[in-house]
C-alpha cells in the first residue's frame, strides 16, 4: 500500500454529502465522469486531490447507507474555495439536475491528524 508523499495535515476537506431516501435519485456515473471533474477544474491549484464515495450500507449490513454518495475536495485555502464556488455557482448548482434530485449538505473541516495502519 502506498501513502501520499506529502502530508495532508493542515489541509482542508470539503465534504459534499448526498442524504439517502426512498424518493432520492443519483447517477453515480455522471457524478464521477462529469460533475466532480468539472468542479475540480474550477478549483484550480487550490485543489490537491478529490475522492468519491458510494454509500453501500449503514451501521449494520441491513441498514441503508445514510448517504447515497459523498464527494471530497482536499484543498489548501478555504477562502479560495469559497471564491471559486461563488464565481461559478450557477454552473455547479445548475448541473445538479443532471445527476440527482438531492439537495447536498456541505461540511468543511481542517485535517488535524492522519494515522496509517501499518499492521500486516
pLDDT tens profile 38-53: 999 999 999 999 999 9
Cβ-in-10-Å burial (0-12, 13-18, 19+) of 4 comes to exposed
- The answer to whether residue 16 scores a pLDDT higher than 90 is yes
Nearest to 100 by CA among 18, 42, 38: 18
Element spanning 89, H or E:
helix 89-95
| Rounded-to-integer distance, Cα 109 and Cα 16, Å | 12
pLDDT of residue 116: 85
Q: Which fold has domain 12-110?
A: Alpha-Beta Plaits (3.30.70)
- Paired with 47 in beta bridges are 75
pLDDT tens profile 70-105: 999 999 999 999 999 999 999 999 999 999 999 999
pLDDT-derived band at 5 (thresholds 50, 70, 90) equals: very low
Nearest to 21 by CA among 104, 92, 94: 104
Amino acid at each position: 500500500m502506498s501513502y501520499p508523499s506529502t502530508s495532508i495535515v493542515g489541509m482542508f476537506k470539503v465534504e459534499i454529502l448526498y442524504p439517502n431516501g426512498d424518493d432520492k435519485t443519483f447517477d453515480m456515473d455522471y457524478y464521477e465522469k462529469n460533475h466532480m471533474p468539472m468542479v475540480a477544474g474550477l478549483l484550480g491549484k487550490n485543489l490537491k486531490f478529490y475522492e468519491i464515495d458510494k454509500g453501500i450500507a449503514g451501521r449494520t449490513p441491513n441498514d441503508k447507507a445514510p448517504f447515497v454518495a459523498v464527494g471530497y475536495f482536499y484543498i489548501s485555502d478555504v477562502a479560495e474555495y469559497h471564491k471559486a464556488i461563488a464565481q461559478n455557482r450557477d454552473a455547479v448548482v445548475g448541473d445538479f439536475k443532471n445527476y440527482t434530485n438531492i439537495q447536498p449538505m456541505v461540511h468543511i473541516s481542517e485535517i488535524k491528524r492522519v494515522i496509517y495502519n501499518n499492521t500486516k
